[in-house]
Amino acid sequence: MDELKVRWKKLALETCVTVCSTSPSISSIITTVTISASTASFSGNILSDGGSPVLAKGIIWSTSPNPTIALSTKTNDGPGVGPFTSNITGLNAGTTYYVRFYVSNSSGSTYGTEINFTTGTGSVATVGSTVSIGSITATSATSGGNISSDGGYPGTVRGVVWATSTNPTVPSAFSTSDGTGTGAFTSNITGLSATTLYYVRSYATNPAGTTYGSEISFTTLVGSSPSISSTSAIGSITTTSASSGGNISSDGGYAITARGVVWGTSPSPTVPSASSTTNGTGTGSFTSNITGLSVGTLYYVRSYATNSAGTSYGTEISFTTSAGSLATMSATVSATSITPSTATSGGNITADGGSPITARGVVWATTTNPTISLSTKTTDGTGTGAFTSNITGLTAGTLYYVRSYATNSVGTSYGTQVSFTTLTICTCASTATCPSDVTDREGNRYDVITLGSQCWMKQNLRVTTLNDGTAIPVDAGGTTTGNVGYTGWLNTTTSAMTVYGHDASNLTTFGYLYNQYAVNDPKGLCPSGWRVPTDTEWTTLSTCLGGESVAGEKMKVTGTTLWTVNYDANNCSDFSGLPGGFRRNDGLFYFKGENAYFWSSTSAKNRALSGYSKELRASNDANSYQQNVGLSVRCIKN
């Protein structure tokens, strides 16, 4: 160190020069040099400004030679001449630095001769005893320490570290960071568990490493159930809901595992209860949405919080839900699509009366003002808005009264009453005894109608297997309209089926289109006890309906929802024929929306309904390719 001081003095004397008025004149003498692992201190004296006032003076340093004032690593020790001290900080231990004086005036800056020095290697900090534990609760305590030496590294990090096992170390989530530097400090230890033994050490970390103070131990206090400051005032009250909440001011030394509100129609409700909310964990305030309430009802509410010591409750408050009203309904929709056994109606709910609509539909009877106590009603969803209802199971030629309805928690309201008369069955006298419906082996249900001496299915067949369980292949070849040149359908010589246009929505409405191999397969296509009608049985039906020239109008669904054109249709037989079209033997699809085609089990024979005619037309084409046509199937009871 003395040698370094001599070098600085010699260099200062050698560089004592006088310059013209455009440059400063510097005379300097170094008096003190102090070096540590991270700092250095230089004291000097500017003896003369050389005729130009000194604006700034100091020392510049770098790990490279010839540092200039362009660097940020410099001191500024003020203007003027005379003694000054420059303190260099933020150095790295064991590192060589190059240092030069600088003096600046209005004409520029002048540098002294460069020297170098090496910082000390430094050491770990010196930590005194860990401060005794204080302010012990179930979840917290205080401690601290005292750093008597930073080992030559200013900015030493300090704090305490704790664990449930001995000799805890950093880094750790269970530690504090209480500033930097030497001296005493205090640490707040939090997030502890009740009645638990902990070990604590103070620590100090610098670039040389971490040192620890003496280890001490303590045990947290016994916990308690949570503390709840209050139950939040009730808000947003409706007929079936409200809002509340609470504020947990202390967890009692144990983690809060559940919190919320609980309610009932009697005072002091408790958990567990279906009438409660769960709104997270931990302390602090929370909001709860209370739902599923009854209209115009008095409720009692308490906030709650649960930890391992038990459940605490906030203050009890009460409120009454809004009274609400019946739903508001528009007029009942007039009946349409009337057949001998079905019709369509509906309604429109314009307001729910402040309580959710739980059921809506129409109810009907042969007497006026029907109510929902009757079984003859539909259930068409929930909520407000318009809805459509399908009325079934009616008797032909009968006057019915219909009302739309809507039910909420207040009660049931009804729309205006409308009436209609079902169509009269326009057939010969019924002599057959028929079931109301039949279900195929796959669970598909079909309504059954009585036409003279025969029992017919009211819907087209949708079965995918033969009676022994053999799957009927689905031909999906060609495009959605078929495909000229496609021979897969034509060349089939066994049971097969398809869907019109390969569109699944057509299956739901019109059923499958089967080839005649499937129709006449000895394993059976129709449900057990049923069969595909013969040509003679089709003739019996048309005779019952007045002959082929007029039978068609009595067998077609009315309207143009499914039929693109539909002359003379009245469906008074309730046969409800739909225009499902057919698939030709070359794979092309034709006439959906215009014609309905039905197989007979007689070879190369079928029946057709047309939107342009009132006839039930017969086909008599003996060409063998007819077996590869895809038509609909209606089954008749044995």
The per-residue pLDDT for range 196-226, each reduced to its tens digit, is 999 999 999 988 899 999 999 999 988 888 8
How far is Cα 260 from Cα 236, in angstroms, rounded to an integer?
17
CA distance 96 to 40: 12
Q: Is the pLDDT of residue 266 over 90?
A: yes
Q: Before 168, cis peptide (omega within 30)?
A: no
Write b or e for each residue in 318-327: b if 16 or more Cβ atoms lie within 10 A of its Cβ, otherwise e: ebebbebbbb
Angstrom distance (rounded) from CA 257 to CA 251: 10
What percent of the chain has pLDDT above 90? 64
- Look at residue 20 and tell me whether its pLDDT is greater than 50: no
Q: What is the pLDDT of residue 138?
A: 85
Per the DSSP assignment, residues forming a β-bridge with 406 are 360, 413
Say whether 284 sits in a helix, a strand or coil: strand
Residue 335 structure tokens:
């009946």
Domain ranges of the chain: 2-118, 126-219, 227-320, 328-421, 437-637
> Which position has the higher pLDDT, 526 or 115?
526
Give yes or no on whether 2-118 and 126-219 have one common fold. Answer: yes
CA distance 637 to 627: 23
Q: Give the architecture-level CATH label for domain 328-421.
A: Sandwich (2.60)
CB 170 within 8 A of CB 160: no
pLDDT of 193 above 90: no
pLDDT in tens, 529-541: 999 999 999 999 9
Contacts of 487-496 spanning 24+ positions with Cβ under 8 A: 487/587, 488/587, 489/515, 489/583, 489/585, 489/586, 489/587, 489/628, 489/630, 490/585, 490/586, 490/587, 490/625, 490/628, 492/517, 492/628, 493/517, 495/466, 495/470, 495/521, 495/525, 496/472
214 CB neighbour count, 10 Å cutoff: 13
What is the pLDDT, as a whole number, of residue 32? 58
Q: What is the pTM of this model?
A: 0.45
For domain 2-118, the question of CATH label 3.50.50.60 is answered with no
Q: How far apart are CA 486 and CA 503, in angstroms?
A: 18
Please tell me the distance from the alpha carbon of residue 295 to that of residue 229, in angstroms, as a whole number.
30
**Structure letter (DSSP) for residue 507:** H
- pLDDT recorded at residue 84: 86
Q: What local confidence, expressed as pLDDT, does residue 145 receive?
A: 95
**Tens digit of pLDDT for each residue in 54-77?**
899 999 999 999 999 999 999 999
Q: Residue 476's pLDDT is what?
A: 85
Least confident stretch, 11-20, 314-323, 365-374, 525-534: 11-20
Q: Which fold has domain 227-320?
A: Immunoglobulin-like (2.60.40)
Mean pLDDT score, 320-328: 88
Amino acid at 453: S
More confident residue, 605 or 478: 605
- Cβ atoms of 2 and 12 closer than 8 Å: no
126-219: CATH class: mainly beta
Q: How high is the pLDDT of residue 568?
A: 86
Please give the average per-residue pLDDT across 16-24, as a whole number. Answer: 40
